[in-house]
Amino acid sequence: MAQTLFDKLWEQHRVCDAGDGYDLIAIDRLLLHERTGGVALKSLQESGYTVRDPSRVFAIMDHIVSFRAGRGRNEARSPGGETFITETRAMARAAGIHLIDTDDPNQGIVHVVAPEQGIALPGLSMVCPDSHTCSLGALGALAWGIGSSEAEHAMVTGVLRMQKPQQMRIRIDGALPAGTTAKDIALYLIARHGSGGGQRCAIEFCGSAVEALDVEARLTLCNMAVEFAAFTAVIAPDQKTLDYLSGRPFAPDDEVGPPLEWHDLKTDADAAFAHEIILNAAEIQPQMSWGTSPEESAPLGTEIPKDARSQALDYMGLEPGQVLNNLQIGGAFIGSCTNGRLSDLQAAARILEGRRVADGVRAVCVPGSRNVRAEAEKLGIDRIFKQAGFEWGEPGCAMCFYAGGETFAPGTRVVSSTNRNFEGRQGPGVRTHLTSPAIVAACAVAGKICAPADLPVPQKEPV
């Protein structure tokens, strides 16, 4: 019987039928972080259980660590958060699991670190107490977010009781217009089909436009699947995937080569899906959210719908029929597990080079990992950001979400490369517009919402 990629991944990890419509699924690797993963470790310790296979568990400090350069990385962005950091560190060491600590050269956001270290691989089942774990499906992994109690169960037993979800194929063919990114694909999809459009399905992204994306862009696309209400997302691994993983610390040795089964991780020609969406990449323009959900997004320069939700408009300080362009902003943030990778910083740097952030705009860039930060500094990207007037932070989730500490002032209109924009996501009263890194950079320079093409040509410094 013809199988989808997800069918194959599920069957490879299915231990048995639980007898009630659920299966027991073997978990290959478990990712933890100090915000919720520490809770699972503490509960495990208090219950007297031990980790079944410590080699399969990774604790990575990322969510609440300070992004302030020059300050101790043990400082947290939330009151009392230092306890989460110190306790998670101690419990991880006691459990014998992998610990990527605050001062580790490989530290960063869990969903950035896992691919760049080869922890996430095609064919593996992976879970983490974080909803954006679906990002890792971009490598052909079976990856989804869980709760802290499920993380505890997976550490002890190596399995989770799961009900197989329905499946959806999203085919995207054609060529993206210049300046359109994977972030724009995601926002366009969610705006067109609604934030519930994924129907808790396992989604497979495919088509010529998806194949044309590099691996970092695929990670962005799969990252946003949870904002579409998907259970997870997957993309069939190809040569780009294999090249990306080559030489990664936890990936197979290059001399041995990738496992043969990786080449079979693709959907059979006549496999069936419960749902299907077809998009034309040529129709997708650079997007920006206007409301308090990613589904409330539209191409730059278009009017806010006349029937827009009044609650969203009231919070965002907008009106039906209004155009976002030229609205003054007070903040700009580039980073997160969605758009904090090297290619994201390079895209923003191309806009920022030779330009300065407008007066009155607080602009912050936080690379997704120490490796991203180091590579960016090697290429001189950090100098471009700093000379433009951006703060250059230490890796972590940073201002993607409000942790009770430092943020933007209430009422600030912020352009952000992150994934969520609900009320208070970046702080009490903060008004967040989701968009791509290049557009964030352009808006920061202009001091208002605009497209990169709207900026004047930068003036060269006199010799």
Domains and CATH numbers, the chain: 7-162 (3.30.499.10), 167-250+272-283 (3.40.1060.10), 297-454 (3.30.499.10)
Structure tokens at 294: 């990613």
Question: Could you tell me if 288 and 183 are in contact, meaning their C-beta atoms sit under 8 angstroms apart?
Answer: no
Mean pLDDT of the chain: 95
Instruction: List all residues 6 or more positions away from 86 whose beta carbon is below 8 Å from its beta carbon.
Output: 74
Overall pTM surpassing 0.95 (yes/no):
yes
Tokens read off for 146? 């869980």
Token look-up 């932070």 returns 393
Q: Which of 298, 284, 155 is nearest to 207 (CA)?
A: 284
How confident is the model at residue 463, as a pLDDT?
43
Note the pLDDT of residue 366: 98
Question: How far is 404 from 428, CA to CA, in rounded Å?
Answer: 9
Average pLDDT of adjacent 10-residue blocks, the chain of 463 residues: 97 95 97 90 92 97 88 76 92 96 96 98 98 98 97 97 98 98 98 98 98 98 98 98 96 83 94 98 98 98 97 98 98 98 98 98 98 98 98 96 93 98 98 98 98 89 50
CA distance 270 to 250: 34
The confidence score (pLDDT) of residue 73 equals 67
Alpha-carbon distances, residue 155 vs 34, 35, 289, 425 (angstroms) = 16, 17, 38, 30
Cβ contact 59:97 at 8 Å? yes
Integer Cα distance of 154 and 26 in angstroms: 9
As a whole number of angstroms, the distance between CA 421 and CA 225 comes to 15
Q: What is the pLDDT of residue 72?
A: 54
Residues in the chain: 463
